[in-house]
Chain A
C-alpha cells in the first residue's frame, strides 16, 4: 500500500473558544479524488485552511506524503506542491485574464508555461485573455482560478466549493476539467456542499458533520447511505 498523499489524524481547530474541528480523521490516497461533503458549518472550509497552513490546528497531526508537517506557512506548502483554490475564486477583478495568470510567473513558473497550461485546460480563456476578470461570469472566473492553480504544477489540489454560485452546466464543465486533471496524477481533495456532481468524478468520499468525519467510503455507498441524513437532499 502506497503512502497516502494526505493523512489527517485527530485534528482539532478552533476560532477563539469555539472549537470547529473536533477530531478529524481523513486519508487521501495518492492520485485519488476525495470528495469531502457535508452541510454548511460542518467545518469543511476550516479543514482546508488548516491543511493549507492558513490556520493553525490546536492539536492533531497532518501528514503530507508520509511526512509529519509540524510547521509550514501556506507559501511554503504551495511551493512544495500543495495548492488551494479557495471558495469565492479570489481572482483580481481589475486585472485581465492574462494578467491574473501571469501573476503565477512571480512564483517561479515561466509565463509561457502558465498561459499554455491555462489555455490547454480552458480554451475559452484564450478568447477572453484581454478581458477584465471582474467582468466575466462566475464560471469563467473559476476557470481562471483553477488555471492559476494548475500553473503551479500541484501534487495535491484543494478545491473549496468549486460549484458555489455557479449554474449547473458550468459546474459540470468544471468537474469534467477536474476529471482531466486527475488523469495527470494530481491528488484532489474536493470540498463540496452540493455533492452529486462531485461524487461523479471522485474515487472516495467522506462526510463531515459537526467538526468530525462521520462517514467515509465509495461514492455510491456515501450517496446511498448518507444523502438523506447528511446531505438533506441537496445533492
Chain B
C-alpha cells in the first residue's frame, strides 16, 4: 500500500481524563444510587479474582471471525462474468478479523468489493487485456483500497487514511486484533472490544471504559421514578464524564495510557463541539482475562451509520448501529446481537428504536411491525423493505451471531417486465444489424445482453457478524513405563489399530517382531527414541497386497484393449473391410503400378 502507514502517536488522554473525572463523580454518586445493591464487596473481589486467575483456561485453542460493514450492496445478475454469488458486491466501510490460536488477520477497507474481486483483483486485471506494462504494476499491488495486518507474519499494523477524517486501520497481535474502516471527524470509531462488560454494545455505548455501569434505583412500583434515577446516574457518570474527558483531551492533557493512536488532522477542539461520524465498521477479536480472571475469547463487530456527537458526547444521535458480540470461555459461549435504528442520547438518557423494541428512558416496549399496505405497494414495484432479526446460535463453547439492519431488496426483473411495452426487441435487432467490426464483436454481444439485464439488488444497512469457537486441550495419556518391553519377553503391547503414534506406548508390529533389545537394556524399563517403533506397520489392519490390485487394474485395461482391437478388426472384416463402398468400388489397397 502506498498510503501512509501512520505511526500511532496521540494518546487517549481524553478518555483517561474522562475516566478520572467520572470516577470522582461516581464516588460521590454511589451513595445516591442506593449503595447496598450496587456496591461490590471491596475486600473479597480481588481475592476471588486472583483465585480464578490462577486456574488454567478452559480452552487451549480458538477460532474466531468477525465482520462488519455499514452498507452492503449485493448485485445478483448472472450475465456479469464473475464466478461468484452475488456476481457483484460493494461494502462501503468494511472491517474483518479472522483469528485463531496461531494466526490473526485483520482487514479494513473503505470500499471493499467482496472477496471475488478483492481477493481476485490480480487475476481480473491480468485478464483485462491491458498492456503488460500497465497491467503488471496494477495487478501486483492487489486491490488498492485496503489495509491488512497479520500476526505473527506481519505487518503488525497498517493504516491508509488519505483524507481527513477517513479511517482505515488495522492491527494484529496475539491478544487483540482489530480492524476499523469508516469516517469520523475525530478520526476514531467505536472500539467495541475495549469495554470489558459482557453485554455491552460497543465502546461508544458504554459510559467510559473501565467504569462499571450503575444500576437504577430499585424502588418497587415506581417504574418511572426508577427510570428517572437510573437516567440521572447514567447521565452523571456517562454524559458528564465523557464530556469532561473530551474537554481534558482537548486541552492537551496526557494520560498514562500506552496505546497509540493515529494522528488526526482535524482539530480536537472541533470534535469537542461536534463529532460527525458518517459511517464506521469495527471488528475486534480479543483473547485475555476478563475482570473476573477468566480467560475468554471475545469477538465484537459493530457497524454504524450516521453518528453525531454534540458537546463532547452529552448529546448523541445514531442512525443505524448493529452490534454482534460473541464471547466464549471454553465452557460456555454467550452471544448478543442487536440493531438500533435510531438512538438519541441526552445526558445519558437513551431513546432508541431497535430490533428488540422501543426504549425510552429505561422503559421498553415491543416493536410494532411495518405497515402492510406500503409494503405491498412497494412489492408491486419489486422493492421490499425487511427488518431482519438477529441470528444467534450457541452450542456449548461455540457461538455465532449475525445482525443485519434495514434490508432493501430491489428486484429489477419486476421493473424490467414493465419495459416490455417498449420496442426492445426491435432495438436488439437494430443492434445486431449494425456493421460492427470484427474486433468489436464482444462489445456487440454485450450491448445485446444489456437490454435483457434484470439484476436483483440487495442493500443491507448495518451488517455485523461474529463467531467464536474454542477447542479443549488435548489430553495426552500418561506414560506407564511398566508396559514397555525389556527385550526378553516378547511384545507386550497388542499394537492394535489406533494405538500407534503415541509416544510412550510403542506398539509391536503385527508379525510379532520383538522390540529392539537395545532400546530397553538391563531390566530397567526405559523409553527412548530407540524404543519407538514405526507406527505404520502397527496401524495397518490388512495384510499387504503388494501390487496385486495395480496388476489387476492394468491387466484389465490391456486385455480390454486387445479384445477391443480384435473385435474392431472382426467388425471391419464382417461389415465393411471387404465390402463395396458407397460408390460400388471394392475396398482395399490397390497396387497403383498395376492399376
Residue ranges of A at the interface with B (Cβ–Cβ < 8 Å): 3, 5, 9, 30, 61, 63-72, 76-77, 80-82, 153-156
Q: CB distance B581 to A66 under 8 Å?
A: no
How far is the CB of A82 from the nearest CB of chain B, in Å? 6
Contact of A69 among B576, B583, B589 (CB under 8 A): B589
Contact A77 B589 (CB under 8 A): yes
Question: Are A68 and B592 in contact, CB atoms less than 8 angstroms apart?
Answer: no
**Interface flag for B212 (CB, 8 Å):** no
**Cβ-closest chain A residue relative to B588:** A67
Closest to B582 in A: A61
* B-side interface mostly: loop
**Does B595 contact A64, Cβ atoms closer than 8 Å?**
yes
Residue of A30, A67, A155 with highest tally of chain B CB at under 10 A: A67
Q: Hey, which chain A residues are within 8 Å of B587, CB to CB?
A: 67-70
Docked CA distance A154–B583 (Å): 26
Q: Which residue of B lies closest to A66 (CB)?
A: B585
Note all chain A residues with C-beta closer than 8 A to B582: 61
CA distance A81 to B587 in the complex (A): 17
13 A-B residue pairings within 8 Å (CB atoms): A5-B592, A5-B595, A63-B581, A66-B585, A67-B588, A67-B595, A72-B589, A77-B589, A80-B589, A80-B590, A80-B591, A154-B592, A155-B593
A154 CA to B591 CA, complexed, in Å? 10
Q: Is B580 an interface residue (CB 8 A)?
A: yes
Given A65-B590, A68-B586, A72-B589, the answer on whether A30 and B581 have CB atoms closer than 8 Å is no
A68 touching B591, Cβ below 8 Å: no
Known contacts A70-B576, A70-B577; is A81 also within 8 Å of B592 by CB? yes
Q: B595 touching A68 by the CB < 8 A rule? A: no
Residue-wise, chain B 147-191 has the 8 Å CB interface mask toward A (1 for contact) of 000000000000000000000000000000000000000000000
Q: Is the pair A68, B580 in contact by a Cβ cutoff of 8 Å? A: yes
**Nearest 4 A/B pairs, CB to CB:** A65-B595, A81-B592, A155-B592, A68-B581
Contact B591 A81 (CB under 8 A): yes
Contact between A61 and B581, CB atoms less than 8 A apart: yes
Residues of B whose CB lies within 8 Å of any CB of A are 576-577, 580-583, 585-593, 595
Query: Does the CB pair B593–A68 fall under 8 Å?
Result: no
- Chain A neighbourhood of B580, CB < 8 A: 68
Q: What would 5 more interface pairs be, CB under 8 Å, given A65-B592, A80-B589, A153-B593?
A: A61-B581, A63-B585, A67-B589, A68-B586, A81-B593
* Bound CA span A165–B586, Å: 41
Determine the chain B residues whose CB is within 8 A of the CB of A76 once the complex forms: 589
Partner of A156, one of B576, B583, B585, B592: B592
- A64 and B590 contact, Cβ closer than 8 Å, known pairs A9-B583, A70-B576, A70-B577: yes
Residues of B within 8 A of A153 (CB): 593
CA distance A70 to B588 in the complex (A): 7
- Nearest chain A residue, comparing its CB with the CB of B584: A68
Task: Determine if A68 and B589 form an interchain contact, defined as CB atoms under 8 angstroms apart.
Answer: no
A155 x B595 contact (CB < 8 A): yes
Least Cβ–Cβ distance between B578 and chain A, in angstroms: 10
Point out the residue from B576, B577, B586, B592 that lies within 8 Å of A80, measured CB to CB: B592
Most buried by A among B576, B593, B595: B595
Q: Which residue of B lies closest to A155 (CB)?
A: B592
Q: Are the C-beta atoms of B576 and A66 separated by less than 8 Å?
A: no
Residues of the B chain whose Cβ atoms lie less than 8 Å from the Cβ of A69: 587-590
CB neighbours (8 Å) of B595 from chain A are: 3, 5, 30, 64-67, 155
Taken together as a complex, chains A and B put the C-alpha atoms of A82 and B595 apart, in Å, by 12
> Which B-chain residue is minimally distant from A73 (CB atoms)?
B589
- State whether A67 touches B593 (Cβ < 8 A): no
Closest to A82 in B: B592
Which residue of B has the minimal Cβ distance to A72?
B589
**Smallest Cβ distance from B154 to chain A, in angstroms?**
49
Cα A82 to Cα B591 with chains together (Å): 9
A68 touches B585 (CB 8 A): yes
Tell me the bound Cα distance from A141 to B7 in angstroms: 77
The residues of A that contact B589 with a CB separation of less than 8 Å are 64, 67, 69, 71-72, 76-77, 80
Contact between A67 and B576, CB atoms less than 8 A apart: no
A81 to B586 alpha-carbon distance, docked (Å):
18
A185 and chain B: residue at smallest CB distance: B593
Within the assembled complex, what's the spacing in Å between the Cα atoms of A30 and B594? 12
- In the bound complex, what is the Cα–Cα distance between A156 and B591 (angstroms)? 11
Nearest chain B CB to A72 CB, angstrom units: 5
Contacts of A63 in B (CB 8 A): 581, 583, 585
Residue in B closest to A65 when the chains form the complex, CB atoms: B595
Q: A5 CA to B593 CA in the complex, in Å?
A: 10
Task: Report B-chain residues with C-beta under 8 Å of the C-beta of A61.
Answer: 581-583
Shortest distance between the CB of B138 and any CB in chain A (Å):
34
CB-CB under 8 A from A3, the residues of chain B are 595
Q: How far is the CB of B583 from chain A (nearest CB, A)?
A: 7
Q: How far is the CA of A54 from the CA of B306 in the complex (A)?
A: 76
Complex CA–CA separation, A66 to B589 (angstroms): 10
**How close is B467's CB to chain A, nearest CB, in angstroms?**
49
Contact of A64 among B577, B583, B592 (CB under 8 A): B592
* Measured CA separation A155–B593 after assembly (Å): 5
CB neighbours (8 Å) of A80 from chain B are: 589-593
A residues near B585, Cβ cutoff 8 Å: 63, 66-68
Distance to closest chain A CB from B428 (angstroms): 29
What are the residues of chain A within 8 A of B590 when measuring CB–CB? 64-67, 69, 80
Q: Which of A5, A9, A63 has the most CB of B within 10 A?
A: A63
- A40 to B591 Cα, complex, angstroms: 33
Bound form: Cα–Cα A156–B592 in Å: 7
Q: Kindly state the separation between the CA atoms of A76 and B585 in the bound complex, as whole angstroms.
A: 20
Min Cβ gap A109→B in Å is: 13
Q: Which residue of B lies closest to A2 (CB)?
A: B595
Docked complex Cα distance between A101 and B2 (Å): 71
**A66 CA to B580 CA in the complex, in Å?**
11
Q: How far is the CA of A65 from the CA of B576 in the complex (A)?
A: 19
